[in-house]
Amino acid sequence: MFDLNIEGAELFALPFGDIVPYFSVYSATLAAFVLIFILIAAFDRPERQLNIIFGGDAFYEKEIKEGDTRFSRFMAIACGFATLGAVLTGDIFNFTLFAVLVGITNIAIVASAGNHHVLNAAFQYGIVAMIATVPLFGAAAIILATTGTLSIWTLAGMGAVPLLAKAMLILGVMGEGIAPLYIGKAEIIRAQGAPFVLMIHFSSLLLFLRVTEIVLVI
């Protein structure tokens, strides 16, 4: 599989029988980025929101204590580890499971704000993410039915996966991970604890890069 353009040179492969977790230059770069962002989510401090009062140069600063952001910090770290799993795994079904996990943690990060509008946005996003499990698991099921395996290592370069399954996989990942880009993004950014909201965008970017790799390889 390392003769394909997108992967680059082989760095590491761990043959667990059928399923082979591997590092190419591409996936190793993604994994390194995820680790950096997990550390950022674990150790950074919550932002201080400034509210500007119109018509004057006065502003006031919202007080955000460490305890208020504990839940969103935990969920940001969990989201980072789910993204790490999605980047590292060599199995298409595990990838879909990690994508769903990223969706759950994203919903939790959004919902920890507690604002009514933000909760509404989180609820709508959650419904989209839930519907997206149909194309996501459907893609894995069709790949399993047509090729008899779910291992990316085995499927690499064979071209045996039908176009429908690839399209459904991309559609499902869009629903799970990339949904916050079009649902209530403005509402999310108004929420407190902005560094953890960063993790939503980061995980959706990484899921998109990873699903691109998978679709080009299988």
Q: Smallest distance, Å, CB 149 to other proteins?
A: 9
Give residue for tokens 């459907």: 138
Residues 33-92 that bind other proteins (CB under 8 A): none
Q: Smallest distance, Å, CB 103 to other proteins?
A: 7
User: Which listed range, 28-36, 105-113, 179-187, 190-198, lies at the site for other proteins (CB under 8 A)?
Assistant: 105-113
Residues 6+ apart with CB under 8 A from 131: 175
Given the complex with other proteins, which of 136 and 215 has the nearer CB atom? 136
Residues 127-186 that bind other proteins (CB under 8 A): 127, 129-131, 133-134, 136-138, 140-142, 144-145, 150
Query: Which of 205, 176, 96 is CA-nearest to residue 143?
Result: 96
Residue ranges binding other proteins (CB under 8 A): 93, 97, 100-101, 103-104, 107-108, 111, 114, 116, 119-120, 122-123, 126-127, 129-131, 133-134, 136-138, 140-142, 144-145, 150
